[in-house]
């Protein structure tokens, strides 16, 4: 699944002013963090356990430079795969300062397989995005985008959101950013929804910060793509993620984790 075009690496790692503006101080997570989730799917108005999800962050190397690699794997259960095969593999490469370098999503959903790839570079103080998309018919499209803004993808923005300091946020606070979708770069919005207690699948109740990721349709009407609950402590650990898909809703509930960077101070109640 990891098809990197090596001849692009040298040019994609020319980090200039734009990348410096995109850097963030990361106090939330570290290499070695591994999280496991139970995955549920709304199937004909009934919630069923559909499989598992694994979220891993490791030290890596991209084009000869240190990086943080995030892997997010959604694997359908045998029962679900017998009816509707599902396996999504997401990969993100970022600098240690959380500047995006590369993203890939390979998705098997039913009889269809698609691939999104995004390469980031920062020439002349700009943020340049090169995208490649393999659609379900086997057709490939290539697009490029350049702007003065920092660009992200659906996995790198989750990592960046974990680095936020939300102490001054009020409910409704909005964070605007452009996101690469595989075929184009679209405006997206993160909305802070407030705090909420959530009992995860490790039987622990956590005090959480809730964020909603919005997209916009052709009429600029807001559409929620996902909602995630992160712990209200320095880890900002994702303990629940709701995905609003074309064919339904999927939810990932936290089961276990190791390699956490900070003390878990958001625990409200243990089992």
Going residue by residue through the chain, which has 271 residues, state the pLDDT in tens, using 9 for 90 and above.
Answer: 333 322 222 223 333 345 557 898 999 999 999 999 999 887 667 778 888 999 999 999 998 999 999 999 988 777 776 777 678 899 999 999 999 999 999 988 778 899 999 999 999 888 999 999 999 899 999 999 998 889 999 899 889 989 988 888 999 999 888 889 888 898 888 899 999 999 999 999 999 999 998 877 656 678 888 898 999 999 999 999 898 876 678 889 999 999 999 999 999 999 7
Strand partners, 73: 54, 89
Distance CA 179, CA 153 (A): 5
Provide the pairing of β-strand 238-245 with 222-231. Answer: antiparallel
Angle at 226 between CA 222 and CA 232, to 5 degrees: 115
Helices and strands counted in the chain (H then E): 4, 15
Token digits of residue 120: 């980031």
Residues 6+ apart with CB under 8 A from 31: 57, 58, 59, 68, 259
pTM: 0.83
DSSP 166-222: GGG--TT-EEEEEEE-SS-EEEEEEEEEEEEEEE-TTS-EEEEEEEEEEEE-TT--E
């Amino acid at each position: 699944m990891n098809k990197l075009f090596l001849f692009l690496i040298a040019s994609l790692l020319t980090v200039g002013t734009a990348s410096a503006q995109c850097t963030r101080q990361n106090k939330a997570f570290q290499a070695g963090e591994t999280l496991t989730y139970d995955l549920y799917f709304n199937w004909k108005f009934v919630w069923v356990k559909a499989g598992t999800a694994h979220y891993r962050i490791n030290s890596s190397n991209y084009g000869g430079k240190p990086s943080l690699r995030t892997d997010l794997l959604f694997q359908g259960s045998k029962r679900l795969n017998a009816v509707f095969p599902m396996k999504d593999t997401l990969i993100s490469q970022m600098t240690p300062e959380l500047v995006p370098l590369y993203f890939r999503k390979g998705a098997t959903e039913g009889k269809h397989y698609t691939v999104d790839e995004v390469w980031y570079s920062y020439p002349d103080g700009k943020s340049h995005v090169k995208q490649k998309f393999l659609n379900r018919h086997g057709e490939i499209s290539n697009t490029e985008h350049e702007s003065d803004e920092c660009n992200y993808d659906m996995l790198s923005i989750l990592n960046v959101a974990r680095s936020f300091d939300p102490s001054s946020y009020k409910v409704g606070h909005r964070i605007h950013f452009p996101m690469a979708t595989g075929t184009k770069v679209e405006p997206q919005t993160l909305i802070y929804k407030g705090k909420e207690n959530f009992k995860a699948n490790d039987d622990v109740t956590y005090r959480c910060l809730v964020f909603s990721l919005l997209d916009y349709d052709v009429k600029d009407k807001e559409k929620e793509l996902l909602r995630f609950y992160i712990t209200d402590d320095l880890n900002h650990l994702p303990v629940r993620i709701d995905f609003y898909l074309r064919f339904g809703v999927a939810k990932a509930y936290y089961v276990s984790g190791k390699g956490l960077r900070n003390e878990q101070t958001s625990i409200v109640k243990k089992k």
